[in-house]
Amino acid sequence: MAFTSLCFLIFALAVITVYYISPIRYRWVVLLAASYVFYLLSSPNTFFFVILTTLVTYFGGRFIGAYNEKHKTYLAEHKGLSRSEKKELKAINTQKKRRMVAIILIIDFGILAVLKYFRYYLQAAGILDTGALLIPLGISFYTFQSAAYIFDIYRNKIDADTNIAKFALFTAFFPQIIQGPISRHDQLAHQLYEGNRFDYRNLTHGAQLILWGFFKKLVIADRVAILCSQVFDNHTEYTGGAVFVALLFYTIQIYADFSGGIDIARGVAQCMGIDMIDNFRRPYFSNSLSDFWNRWHISLSFWCRDYIFYPVALAKVFGKMGKSLRSIFGDRVGKLFPAIIAQYCTFLTIGLWHGAEFKYIAYGLYNGTIIVLALLLDPYFKAAIEKLHINVNAWWWRGFQIIRTFFIVVCGRIFPKAASFSVAISMFCSIFKPNVGTPFSETVMSLGLGGIDFAILFVCCLIWFIISLIEERGRNSSGDGTHSSYVRAALDEKPLFVRWGLFLLLLAAVLAVGIYGPGYDASAFIYRGF
């Protein structure tokens, strides 16, 4: 059941209605039933794997939580312990917890590895038939979310859930199961379990988000997809500007597609008073690649930061290696060595999260290498800026940083989009070859989109850009880094007829120029496959 289908809209409306007419104490039950019905309707053959991950994570979390409680109770009952005794006791308890964490992660990520990664190599070797194993819907999202839950219990940041049905809801909450965001237990669980009272503003804000998501997905992303598919599916027929235009448009497509799906998911949840984290924060306004990954797929980036980057960067073994390397490569490289290893581990994880093929690994290494080079060369960049007397606060410098970062991102997009790593390299090289025979303008106009389509895209992307610019300026002026919507806050202050007028105008745009109807694949969200 895809987000952009009529069936989903009817389903979501029914769930919201039943949610609010049910007693508050049982509203979480409504969400659990709806989530399991949604999964069974969307991917019935893989439902078992969601249940398996839920059971393993729940009982594993209970065991780790029990270790935490025993340790706390023992310390409370034996207050006279010396510092060394406490340290020894903590080490024993930590070792027990680590064993349990290892078992849970091996099972959860083992399921993910077999179904999503090993199958690729088995199919490539001809050992496994293409359709022999199905990939469970949202497996990467609910596996990473479950792992975060286990890590947080291990670190004593949260208590383990004691109600398996409620934890099952946290794992399989239907708006986020298709493409996230990857929520944290301390941020989402209490909103799911406690129930929320009806609030007209939540309902209108949620409806606004849903419609905005439909606008980005149906009007922009699916229209751009026609051009992108024409070039990438027939890459040997195109060179020069046509390939670059397709790559540029794919950069727009994936943002509109992914963020549009997230907006729909967050909108449905918000209609019931549930606030899921915003997965995007205007990433194409980033001034560096590091800044981009703090704004793009935020839930995955922060997951990797908290559970990959920091543990690796703070690991004693890499700290010692860094010290030993100072005599060879200098103090700066030695100090940065743990961070460099952590960056590569982080982006290797991000690459593998997308898939097992080498093109995804190359995508991760591409991003990691650029960020590492920026770290190593930072003193030289600063020296050059100072020598050239560049005002780093000037608007033109900020604009240069944004454009530079955008094109770095655009170039990297070729890896996950191309059919393979070799095709990605071939297509990238073909950008620098001239168009043969047909003029560039005629080539672009033959890629499946007409003049009206380009006009629609220009107007819609301009509207999206203006709204994003307003949001970005509002965030920068507040200075608090908040993710709240300034456009939405401004709309709330407008008269009712203005708000409804804009809402109906956006709805009319989706209905009039959206891509849907016979032949439309409502399940074709790019990140649905991840």
Break the chain into its structural domains and give their ranges. 6-179, 201-280+440-529, 285-417
User: Quick one: tokens of 475?
Assistant: 């965030």
Cα separation of 4 and 521, whole Å?
9
The contacts found for 40-44 with CB under 8 angstroms, 24 or more apart, are: 41/1, 41/11, 42/1, 42/137, 42/178, 43/134, 43/136, 43/137
Q: How far apart are the first and last CA of the chain?
A: 16
Q: Please, what is the angle between helix 185-194 and helix 139-154, to 10°?
A: 100
**C-alpha distances out from residue 218 to 211, 236, 250, 359, 376, Å:** 10, 28, 15, 28, 42
Interacting residues of 93 by C-beta distance below 8 A, sequence separation 6+ = 67, 70, 71
Which pLDDT value is given to residue 482?
38
Alpha-carbon gap, residue 97 to 89, rounded angstroms: 12
Q: Could you tell me which of 208, 203, 204, 267 has the C-alpha nearest to residue 17? A: 203
Cα angle 6-7-9, degrees, rounded to a multiple of 5 = 65
Is residue 175 within 8 A of residue 271, CB to CB? The reply is: no
Residue with tokens 């301390």: 186
Helix-, strand-, coil-residue percentages of the chain, each rounded to 5: 75, 0, 25
Residue 500 has a pLDDT of: 85
- Rounded CA gap, 422 and 354, in Å? 18
**DSSP per residue, 320-354:** HHHHHHHHHH-HHHHHHHHHHHHHHHHHHHHHHHH
The rounded distance, in Å, linking the Cα atoms of 49 and 98 is: 24
State residue 481's pLDDT score: 37
Mutual orientation of helices 421-430 and 358-387 as an angle, nearest 10°? 40
Contacts of 475 (CB under 8 A, 6+ apart): 281, 481, 482, 483, 486
Which 3 state secondary structure label does DSSP give 294?
coil
Q: 164-172 vs 47-77: helix axis angle to the nearest 10?
A: 130
Distance between CA 33 and CA 49 in Å, rounded? 17
Return averaged pLDDT per consecutive 10 residues of the chain, 530 residues in all: 86 96 95 95 89 96 92 83 85 90 94 80 62 75 95 94 96 90 94 92 92 93 91 86 91 94 94 93 94 94 94 91 85 89 95 88 95 92 92 91 95 93 92 71 78 92 92 62 64 84 88 74 60
Q: Residue 14 has which token pair?
A: 């029914």
**pLDDT at residue 444, rounded to an integer:** 78
Q: Using CA atoms, how far apart are residues 481 and 477, in angstroms rounded to an integer?
A: 9
Predicted local distance difference test score (pLDDT) of residue 496: 83
The angle subtended at Cα 92 by Cα 89 and Cα 95, nearest 5°, is: 145
Radius of gyration of the chain (CA): 25
Rounded CA-CA distance 71/68 in Å is: 5
pTM value > 0.85: yes
Give how far the C-alpha of residue 348 lies from the chain's centroid of Cα atoms, to the nearest Å.
15
Report pLDDT for 80. 80
Query: Under a CB-based contact definition with an 8 Å cutoff, are residues 150 and 103 in contact?
Result: no
Token reading at 148: 């975060």
User: Mapping DSSP to helix (H, G, I), strand (E, B) and coil, where does residue 355 land?
Assistant: coil
Residue carrying structure tokens 């249940």? 51
Rounded Cα distance, 160 and 149, in Å: 8
Secondary structure of 219-278 in HEC code, one letter for each residue: HHHHHHHHHHHHHHCCHHHCCCHHHHHHHHHHHHHHHHHHHHHHHHHHHHHHHCCCCCCC
State the sign of the Cα–Cα–Cα–Cα dihedral 379, 383, 386, 391: negative
What sign for the dihedral angle of Cα 267, 220, 476, 489? negative
Task: Quote the CA–CA distance of 280 and 295 in Å, as a whole number.
Answer: 5
